[in-house]
Amino acid sequence: MTNNYKFLNNINFPDDVRKLSQSDIKVLADEVRKELIDVVSETGGHLGAGLGVVELTVVLHYIFNTPHDKLIWDVGHQTYPHKILTGRKNKIRTLRKGQGLSGFTKRSESEYDPFGAAHSSTSISSALGIAVANKLSNKSSNIIAVIGDGAISAGMAYEAMNNAGASKTKMIVVLNDNDMSIAKPVGAMRKYLAKILSGKIYFSFRETFKLIISAFSKRFKNKAGKAEDFLRSAVTGGTLFNSMGFYYIGPIDGHDIDTMVSVFNNAKDIDYDGPILIHVKTEKGKGYTFAEKSEDKFHGVSKFNIKTGEQLKSISKIPSYTKVFANSLIKHAEKDSKVVGITAAMPSGTGMDLFGKKFPDRMFDVGIAEQHAVTFAAGMATEGYKPYAAIYSTFLQRAYDQVVHDVAIQSLPVRFAVDRAGLVGADGPTHAGSFDITYLSTLPNFVVMAASDEAELVRMINTSMDINDRPSAFRYPRGNGVGVQLPEITEKIELGKAKIIKEGKKVAILNFGARLQECILASKNLKKKGIDITIIDARFAKPLDENLIWQIATEHEVLITIEEGSIGGFGSHVSQFLSEKNLLDSNLKFRSMILPDRFIDHDKPELMYKFANLDSIGIENKILDTLNSKVLIKKSN
């Protein structure tokens, strides 16, 4: 810690927070906010969400006896202040770095993280599970789940509330309402929360009744509570949360420490056999002018200058894969009015914000609801539209049942733009696109493509436009392309047709995806050792280019497949084909290079691929080893 704080320097765990006076924790909150800004300016990461919950975080640890009381955060973007207060203050500058702290809650990192969370809308379900388990074990700990207004729009949150309301199990759900998730939240829930906030008459009547109730003896409190419920219904028409079985409190100011201390104390001590929902109104980016004024409230940032707010981003003239996708789709949409774009609360991350600016009536942000997004796209496809569902690989996993039943079985031409394919760096294993090749290419009626560079991505988008009898997917990595010239939108690929990059002898590499440049580099180094290899860009995991695979399998001693995915993907399909054709019984040495069978911790992407042996040195060593060479290349640390 570089700053000399009045209180924070001596705060190591929440027990230290609970030793302070109520006035002191207001100063502590200011210090946590200052430290958070200072830290993220050095490390980059998620800033706005954490700034919005500084006071809430301090109060929750002040009132509740964590870690005995379980505090569960949704997503994890908002947990940096929580980490500062829970024994990780001195490591906070290792955030999202190799061997450092995770950017999300992580059970193996701290006892103060009772449930890991990087995807959204899981907090109420997991909290209810913990609460019911404690009830069965006669444990008395409080269970608190903090969920954002964007996350509560997801179907899983509704399912959890429905179950929690009927379970008669005490737990506290804190709805952090900042009118922002990553982008502006969408849908009826946002409008509903806004309606509650505008109902000031309800809040004033409620405060009046609280005073009345406090004057009653215990034997009259139940009747007073019923009168309050009647008033609540009379003034607001009831609340969604009450109708689902929750005792609703709020909305309250999430930056007013005195109010929150009072409310959470009461919620902790209240004799109520059921779930309680406390609606807290916060401001994302609170306390840092540049974050408050930013369109995304500084959600995810690179290193930045605290005084100017300027982010220190590397400047590249090479466009990102995401931008190439968005611009190509816009060009197609200009020519074809049936092209529509769909995103699940990630318009800027997927490039759908660019598409939406051009075609506001043809871009649909459905909120944090990937399952709905996929079936919504399927519905549009039945009416002759060409839906492009742009979803990160890791988030598409959440909608796999819908991909199978609502898209694949019905052979509907939904186009999946699978962004963030492969290893993604600082966000770690929860956000890695490791499994989409496997879980998509195993499905009948699917076309599965992977771009080796940004030009191939354009060709795949172009090709997908004409796939009208079945679903298709094209995957591409995070970050910038390799700097090749982009083709016109008329240039397409024959379905299932691979591309020969270079021809050699003895060894053939069949690459699927963005490891192609590493294959080329490995080839150049091996040529110096007298090993000239064939390189093929497979392009398709499904359908396979069976003719070309047959040819290279019969003409080479070694065949190696390479992909940025798990076991069961492209290499498995090639192996199955070779086995069926009895080619594995010949003298062919077949190897498949895939991601290792473990979750890879966050680090720089190049180091993660080095660990996975999917860099050029790993490829060279695999080839030398397969050729039974004893001369392996040592990796530098």
Question: CA-to-CA distance for 493 and 466, rounded, in angstroms?
Answer: 11
Active-site annotation holder among 55, 283, 370, 563: 370
Catalytic residue check, 284: yes
Question: CA-to-CA distance for 385 and 414, rounded, in angstroms?
Answer: 9
Residues 6+ apart with CB under 8 A from 455: 481, 484, 485, 486, 487
Three-state SS at 312: coil
* Contact criterion met (CB below 8 Å) for 394 and 430: yes
Answer whether the bond into residue 67 is a cis peptide, omega within 30°: yes
Q: How many whole angstroms from its chain centre is CA 34?
A: 27
The helix, strand and coil proportions of the chain, stated in percent and rounded to the nearest 5, come to 45, 15, 40
The three-point CA angle 243-121-232 to 5° equals 25
Q: How many whole angstroms from its chain centre is CA 584?
A: 40
Question: CA-to-CA distance for 149 and 189, rounded, in angstroms?
Answer: 8
Query: With the C-alpha atoms ordered 189, 194, 197, 200, is the resulting torsion angle positive or negative?
Result: negative
Transcribe 477-537 into DSSP letters: -SSB---PPPPPTT----TT--EEEE--SSEEEEEESTTHHHHHHHHHHHHTTT--EEEEE
Q: Beta partners for 364? A: 342
Active-site annotation holder among 284, 415, 459, 515: 284
Q: Beta partners for 320? A: 480
Kindly calculate the radius of gyration of the chain based on its CA atoms and give it in whole angstroms: 27
Catalytic residue check, 310: no
Three-state SS at 70: strand
Question: CA-to-CA distance for 283 and 180, rounded, in angstroms?
Answer: 9
CA dist 33 → 50, 52, 260, 288 (Å): 8, 9, 18, 9
Q: Which amino acid is located at 86 in the chain? A: T
Active-site annotation holder among 88, 398, 415, 622: 398
* Contact criterion met (CB below 8 Å) for 593 and 614: yes
Catalytic residue check, 557: no
Question: CA-to-CA distance for 521 and 606, rounded, in angstroms?
Answer: 14
Q: Which residues are catalytic?
A: 284, 370, 398
